[in-house]
Structure 1
Amino acid sequence: MSVTLSRQKGFSMVEVLLAMMLLVVVVMALSGYHRALAARYAALSQYRQLWHHAWNQSQISTLTLPPGWQVSRGQTTQSGCVSITVTLISPMGRQGALTRLHCPVSR
């Protein structure tokens, strides 16, 4: 072995390529994990919005819905109580239904 080769410092080409491959695999795995977390967060956020709007629509007096939301609301009265059934469809197609019973407080 010559003197110049024995004094070389640093990593070999094989070590550098293996390190780069490992880095690529780790980054790809983390990006897939991030994508899955983001999709789950979006679904959970839409789920919470759906029930928030359903609760608001099941009140005696309702609020207006944001654009893109569809609502079907039915109301019946029996024995002084009002039953309100609401079915909502979000802009992304998620559907939810809620029924609430409103009865006057007797003293």
Structure 2
Amino acid sequence: MQQRGFSLPETLCSLVLFAVVIILLLNYHRGLQQGGEAQWQTRQLWRYALEQTEPESPPLPDGWLVQKQQISCGDCLCISVTITSPQRRFGQLSKRICPLPHSNQE
């Protein structure tokens, strides 16, 4: 009488292979997720930095740090910002705000 089905060694081998594939897929997913979070944090950092270069800027959320310097550059206002995220990522941004020239149209 011939038996049909898989033997115990074949079943164990397939189970080990299945477990290895699942672990690799989970690690790949975690890497993608961390990359996405890092990209989102970087976008937030630059968005907040751009907001902080305005003369009257909104307050930052808790955990974010900003160093802001405003100096006069001739007829313009120069604003330099260094911003640090809660994850210790940082960026620097500078902006020059000059008055619009007046046109004499009558």
TM-score normalised to the size of structure 1?
A: 0.89
Q: Name stretches of at least 5 consecutive residues in structure 1 with no aligned partner.
A: none
For residues 77 and 104 of structure 1, what CA distance do their matches in structure 2 show? 12
Which residue identity is paired with 1:70? L
Q: Name stretches of at least 5 consecutive residues in structure 2 with no aligned partner.
A: none
Which residue is equivalent to 2:91? 96
1:63 to 58, 64, 75: 58
For residues 82 and 9 of structure 1, what CA distance do their matches in structure 2 show? 84
Query: Identity across aligned pairs (percent)?
Result: 38
Which residue identity is paired with 1:66? P
Which residue is equivalent to 2:46? 51
Q: Is 2:86 aligned against 1:75?
A: no
Runs of 4+ in 1 over 2 A off after TM superposition: none
Figure out how many residues of one structure are paired with residues of the other and give that number. Answer: 102
TM-score normalised to the size of structure 2?
A: 0.89
* Structure ID, larger Rg: 1
Which residue identity is paired with 1:42? E
Which residue is equivalent to 1:19? 14
